[in-house]
């Protein structure tokens, strides 16, 4: 069965620094998709970035990038030049199966609280 684990409960950083959030996953599938979302203080859930398992290159979107280490089943999220408004709960999620798989189910981790201080 699929499982996503985020071991860091919370992280505090100073503004404008770089932070890395960890995520490891378990799956029996050879093809899968990994996502990071953030949940703001208002409860809004925002899609940030995605990594497809068959892609070797780490995904990058704006000041978000991923550290995908497939042999370790690890997908870390890196935020560079953090801003106060990056303070949120960050969730890692996985969808099993390739493009032809008959499921869109996302399995989420428990989340990591990020606090960015001025």
Nearer to other proteins, 11 or 106 (CB): 106
According to DSSP, the β-strands at 60-61 and 64-69 are: antiparallel
Dist. CA 34–CA 74, nearest whole Å: 10
* Residue 90 within binding range of other proteins, rule CB under 8 A: no
Distance of CA 55 to the CA centre of its chain: 16
Contact 111, 90 (CB under 8 A): yes
Residues 94-113 that bind other proteins (CB under 8 A): 95, 97, 99, 101-111
Should residue 44 be labelled a site residue for other proteins when binding is judged by CB under 8 A?
yes
91 sits near other proteins (criterion: CB under 8 A): yes
From the list 45, 55, 70, 117, which residue makes contact with other proteins (rule: CB under 8 A)?
A: 45
List of residues contacting other proteins (CB under 8 A): 33, 35, 37, 42-47, 50, 91, 95, 97, 99, 101-111
């Amino acid at each position: 069965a699929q499982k996503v684990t985020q071991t860091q409960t919370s992280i505090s950083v100073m503004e404008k620094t770089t932070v890395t959030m960890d995520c490891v996953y378990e799956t029996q599938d050879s093809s899968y998709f990994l996502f990071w979302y953030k949940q703001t203080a208002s409860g809004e859930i925002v899609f940030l970035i995605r990594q497809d398992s068959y892609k070797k290159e780490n995904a990058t979107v704006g000041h978000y990038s991923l550290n995908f280490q497939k042999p370790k089943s690890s997908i870390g999220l890196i935020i560079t030049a953090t801003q106060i408004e990056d303070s949120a709960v960050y969730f890692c999620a996985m969808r099993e199966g390739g493009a032809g798989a008959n499921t869109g189910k996302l399995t989420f981790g428990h989340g990591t609280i990020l606090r960015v201080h001025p």
